[in-house]
Structure 1
Amino acid sequence: MRNICMQNNHIIGGEFDVDIQGFRHTKSNNGVLEGVYKYSSGRSALYYILLDVQKRYGIATVYLPDYLCSSVMIAAHKSQMEVVFYNLNDRLEIDAERFPMESEAKVAVLLINYFGLKNLEQQIAFVRSLSKNTIIIEDDVQAFYEFQKKELMADYKFTSLRKTFACPDGGLVKTYNELAIVADGNKFHQYKFAGSILKSLRKPEYYDDDVYLHLFEKGESHIDDEIVMGMSQMSQEIIVKNNFECIAYIRRRNAKQILEGLKSLGVRTVVPVPEEKTPLFIPIWLDDRNKVRKQMFQQQIFCPVHWPLEGMNVQKGVEMAEHEMSIIIDQRYTNKDMDFILNILEIALK
């Protein structure tokens, strides 16, 4: 057991809160919105990509991996694309021997950059080797820092801002094609932003957690209905004020500390975590994940699961839904927080 204080006076995990003063006074200092298309969410970004794929290339089928978020399925269904699943191996990469795509097929293939930890170049090359008619979509929803790179090997790539930053909404697309421009911002961001403000002001004597959690949930409930809408002006103002280099440094520092602790605890990560990557989370594999996660909840450490099945019957997804847990390492947290997480994890594993 690490010799540190076992008290935690704040919640670890959940949606981001907002620094109102920082939002007002920080100068805009990055070019994140230059040369991108802006939509309401990650699923909205994918929806508009799939519409363009249909119209531009006459493609009506999209191949999806058998481990994914249900929001990907929502975008596919709302764009009326036929879905074919392909198998992943234990490295969360295309299982080449079982890949169902025929030679020279005219389809779209979605590749997911899981947890921001994958290099997709070889998978892109593999798909292109089978068919030059295939359109490749890179899902960087968990990989903002990979989305930011100038190289565009896929035909389209997209990300979601609210997964990585204190933005209430926003999905971005990069492509050499000309996509639909949506000027009308969504409405759900208002609930998300209001919840973030209340969370930032939270004290037990002020109000219950249910007050701001209700706002988060209300915003979440409207995201699918507003899949055709654009990114809010509020998030456009917030995202350009983020210091990406500083945020990446904190995430990598926290990730390194967690990885060292996991090694000493004998806990393995779902996929390797390269030093040069900036992870969204550290995904770990647990035999009795639900027991461990429940004990961490009791200490106000809210580790998400990627992903709940939500009615999907996907082979790799079923396996991961029972054993994966994501350790939080984002820019809100300190070395002390990482030690606290590791201590509670150690207790929960016993």
Structure 2
Amino acid sequence: MQNSRVIGGEFDVDLQGLQYTQSNNGSLEGVYKYSSGRSALYYILLDVQKRYGITAVYLPDYLCSSIVTAVEKSQMKVVFYNLNDQLEIDVEKLPLKDNEKAAVLLINYFGLKNLQPQVEFIRSISKEIIVIEDDVQAFYEFRKPELIADYKFTSLRKTFACPDGGLVKTANDLPLVSEANKFHQYKLAGSILKSLRKPEYYDDDVYLHLFEKGENHIDDEIERGMSQISQEAITKTDFERIAYIRLRNIRQILNGLKTLGIRTILPVSEDKIPLFVPIWLEDRNKVRRQMFQQQIFCPVHWPLEGMDVQKGVEMAEHEMSIIIDQRYTNKDMCFILTTLEKALK
């Protein structure tokens, strides 16, 4: 069984769909728009400092390095806290003091967590705490109208065919940024070339170079806003259809994983629409290499990139994310499972 196309990597953009689909989902109402997820967090942290006089932010010890970048650019102090095996606050090791004035970042890992108990626990320690909910992996949780944290934010690039975009929800007034970032142009150009790709046209390196060039400029443009094309793309996105496809793919993957005796890192409940299905593998790198050979590019959450974070070190060795997004069919899910089974032998 040979794979006929690449599974994974950045989204390609459907230009025809953008041209003809109507804007109607109201996804940008009541949100603040920035260039990326880290840009969204940066503006949240600036507001936290100015509004509440807070200078320190507690981060979990399993995270993407871009979060640390955003905190450093906002010039706030980083304090790490430990997570347990359920990727929740390790209550006995939390260094937060009674009535301490600080910000705490909670990550909705893979879009599979219910963060409310953790929010309530933190607030029981200190009423001076400001809670920030990271929904970068949890767009469908971000969409829900409830605001249990003081701020919540998400990113669009990993979930949809948008070259850029970070969104924030909060009851506070945040800055409106009208000047769009420039990096989205490289991301967009790469996405268009990827969508047109046939082997006889050009090598993968051509569009991958554009993706990389865009990626290299994201941190430099942390103060910029969201592009017009991403604003158009997200308002024309059919969230319900995408959720249906993702849920269909998730069910198929979970049944296959059960047969193979592979455990998911977190339980996948029916009311969640995760970004990926995260699995635990003893020899993750060997399995991942063999899947690469079949053009299945499963990401890892997250490479350490110089960070010394306890839970992050453990996960960086064993976590692999199974792709279940809206680009893929039942046949693709079968191919992922078949390849995974062979790679485990």
> Shift in Å at residue 74 of structure 1?
0.3
2:336 corresponds in structure 1 to: 341
Q: 1:276 aligns with which of 259, 271, 293?
A: 271
SS at match of 2:279: strand
> Shift in Å at residue 179 of structure 1?
0.4
- The whole-number CA distance in structure 1 between the counterparts of 2:223 and 2:15 is 29
Letter in 1 for 2:127: K
**In the TM superposition, what whole-angstrom CA distance separates every residue of 1:232-273 from its partner, at most 9, and x where no partner exists?**
011001100000000001011101100000000000001100
Q: 1:24 aligns with which of 12, 16, 19?
A: 19
Extract unaligned runs of 5+ from structure 1. 1-5
- The TM-score, its normalising length taken from structure 1, stands at 0.98
Q: Is the 8 A contact 1:124 1:153 kept in 2?
A: yes
SS at match of 1:162: coil
- The whole-number CA distance in structure 1 between the counterparts of 2:157 and 2:96 is 33
> Shift in Å at residue 7 of structure 1?
1.8
Letter in 1 for 2:141: E
Letter in 1 for 2:142: F
Q: 1:67 aligns with which of 56, 62, 68?
A: 62
1:148 corresponds in structure 2 to: 143
Q: 2:38 aligns with which of 43, 53, 68?
A: 43
- The TM-score, its normalising length taken from structure 2, stands at 1.00
2:107 corresponds in structure 1 to: 112
SS at match of 1:273: coil
Letter in 2 for 1:269: T
- The whole-number CA distance in structure 2 between the counterparts of 1:175 and 1:276 is 24
Q: 1:248 aligns with which of 243, 247, 269?
A: 243
> Shift in Å at residue 19 of structure 1?
1.0
Runs of 4 or more off by more than 3 Å in structure 1? Answer: none
Q: Residue 295 in 1 paired to residue 290 in 2?
A: yes
> Shift in Å at residue 163 of structure 1?
1.1
SS at match of 2:3: coil
Q: Is the 8 A contact 1:29 1:243 kept in 2?
A: no
- The whole-number CA distance in structure 2 between the counterparts of 1:320 and 1:119 is 20
1:121 corresponds in structure 2 to: 116
Letter in 2 for 1:192: K
1:260 corresponds in structure 2 to: 255
- The whole-number CA distance in structure 2 between the counterparts of 1:246 and 1:106 is 43
1:54 corresponds in structure 2 to: 49
Letter in 2 for 1:144: F
**In the TM superposition, what whole-angstrom CA distance separates every residue of 1:282-309 from its partner, at most 9, and x where no partner exists?**
0000000000000000000000000000
Q: Is the 8 A contact 1:156 1:175 kept in 2?
A: yes
- The whole-number CA distance in structure 2 between the counterparts of 1:128 and 1:53 is 16
**In the TM superposition, what whole-angstrom CA distance separates every residue of 1:122-145 from its partner, at most 9, and x where no partner exists?**
000000000010000000000000
Extract unaligned runs of 5+ from structure 2. none
Q: Residue 231 in 1 paired to residue 231 in 2?
A: no
- The whole-number CA distance in structure 2 between the counterparts of 1:226 and 1:30 is 28
> Shift in Å at residue 98 of structure 1?
0.6
In the alignment of these two chains, the number of paired residues is 345
Q: Is the 8 A contact 1:309 1:321 kept in 2?
A: yes
Letter in 1 for 2:47: D
Counterparts of residues 118-197 of structure 1 (less than 5 Å): 118-197=113-192
- The whole-number CA distance in structure 2 between the counterparts of 1:24 and 1:311 is 43
% identity of equivalent residues:
78
- The whole-number CA distance in structure 2 between the counterparts of 1:231 and 1:21 is 21
- The whole-number CA distance in structure 2 between the counterparts of 1:279 and 1:140 is 11
**In the TM superposition, what whole-angstrom CA distance separates every residue of 1:76-117 from its partner, at most 9, and x where no partner exists?**
000000000000000000000111100100000000000000
Cα RMSD (Å) of the superposition? Answer: 0.4
1:3 corresponds in structure 2 to: none
Q: Is the 8 A contact 1:161 1:170 kept in 2?
A: yes
Letter in 1 for 2:66: S
